Amino acid sequence: MGVGLFQAEKQLVRDYYAQLDAAVPTALDQVQDRFVAADYLWRGFHPFHEIRSAGAVAEAFWLPLKTALTSMQRRMDVFMAGQNTLEGHGGVWVVSMGHLMGLFDHPWLGIPPTGKMAMLRYCEFHRVVGDKIAETAMFFDIPHLMMQAGLQPFPPQTAAHLVQPGPMTHDGLMYDAQDPEQGRKTLAAIDHMVNDIKTWRDGIQEPLVEELRRSWNEDMIWWGPAGIGATYTIERYARQHSGPFRVGLTDRTFNGHICRIAEGHFGGFFGWPNLTLTPSGGFMGMPATNTPGDMRVIDIYRRDGDKLTENWIFIDLLHFWNMQGIDILARTTNIVSGHETGAQGNKP
């Protein structure tokens, strides 16, 4: 990784954001044509899934969202780029994470507007080829937006979900070139953590907190999605998320990642899906099933020293539970609009 190697790709995505965010609805197609490749692949959370043209992404996602969240602005907390380190994938990817904030003036996906500020938490991976964006993973926390609108899509969560801040160090916006050695250290810390999940993957008997301490600083923060929540310190993370997650989900298959990069003290990955698991009961207050479900996940990390210390997580929980026959989005929004009975709306 050479210093300044990714500056052209970063600038392309920054220019794309500037024009996309400023565009009126009728100009969205022109922005997409200017920056996005003809054979574009866009991956988004349920109910969007895969879309294979720039114009269709504008019509299905950006136009309705910008119509619903008026005066929308992008509030980024992390911006980085890097060469995909996964064998067989490659390419330069640019990553953005933060919130899309606006005035929630019109319905979106059946979620009722509030007329107040609302924030859609998002993370986006772009593969840049030449002067075009060829591929995008756009992950976003719809259940959190539902909660801001007064809905309760899930039973009470084990941790606490908030409008999540960016890095404690406030240095996640890496517009300038970074020291490649710092990126290598971050990637090594992420790889070590992924390969050291032994008590869950390999059935090794040891206290979970001991495994976690090999990869994480004691004051770690895990910024999880709505429905699970955020948790602070290794001990509370083990109790409030990692422990319940490992107990409540069985028949685990790791499907691999599509992209894994690092720059400076930050790094991350995404998969489509990362994991396939079967609920064995209790996870997120839901019953056991005999049905495997896919988890599409983005993880963004901040390293402090030799270990990881902050982790922002995006999981397509709507898709996962939809595969179990539970349509969280339709169930919750239909209750509000009066199209379901109370008894139907209260079933797990």
Task: Give the whole-angstrom CA distance, residue 21 versus residue 293.
Answer: 34
Query: Is position 114 within any domain?
Result: yes
29-43, 71-85, 132-146, 159-173: least confidently modelled range:
159-173
The whole model's pTM is what?
0.92
End-to-end CA distance of the chain: 49
Q: What is the mean pLDDT of the chain?
A: 92
Query: 106 and 250 in one domain?
Result: no
Query: Is position 123 within any domain?
Result: yes
Query: 218 and 295 in one domain?
Result: yes
Query: 133 and 60 in one domain?
Result: yes
Query: 215 and 117 in one domain?
Result: no
Query: Is position 212 within any domain?
Result: yes
Residue-number span of the structural domain to which 127 is assigned: 7-148
Tokens 């269709």, residue? 56
All residues at 6 or more sequence positions from 115 whose CB lies less than 8 Å from its CB, including other chains? 103, 104, 105
Task: Give the whole-angstrom CA distance, residue 129 versus residue 26.
Answer: 26
Query: 144 and 25 in one domain?
Result: yes
CATH code (residue 101)? 3.10.450.50
Number of domains composing the chain: 2
Over range 229-257, report the average pLDDT. 93
Contact 343, 334 (CB under 8 A): no
pLDDT at 88: 81
pLDDT in tens, 167-202: 999 999 999 999 999 999 999 999 999 998 855 555
Query: 322 and 185 in one domain?
Result: yes
Query: 12 and 144 in one domain?
Result: yes
Query: 128 and 188 in one domain?
Result: no
Residue, of 81 and 347, whose pLDDT is higher: 81
Over range 2-7, report the average pLDDT. 67
Query: Is position 164 within any domain?
Result: no
pLDDT surpassing 90 at residue 347: no
Query: 225 and 131 in one domain?
Result: no
Query: Is position 87 within any domain?
Result: yes
Over range 151-160, report the average pLDDT. 88
pLDDT in tens, 163-174: 899 999 999 999
Query: Is position 172 within any domain?
Result: no
pLDDT in tens, 205-239: 788 999 999 999 999 999 999 999 999 999 999 99
Query: 274 and 201 in one domain?
Result: yes
Query: 260 and 199 in one domain?
Result: yes
98-112, 177-191, 253-267, 278-292: least confidently modelled range:
278-292
Q: What interhelical angle do 7-22 and 28-35 show, nearest 10? A: 170
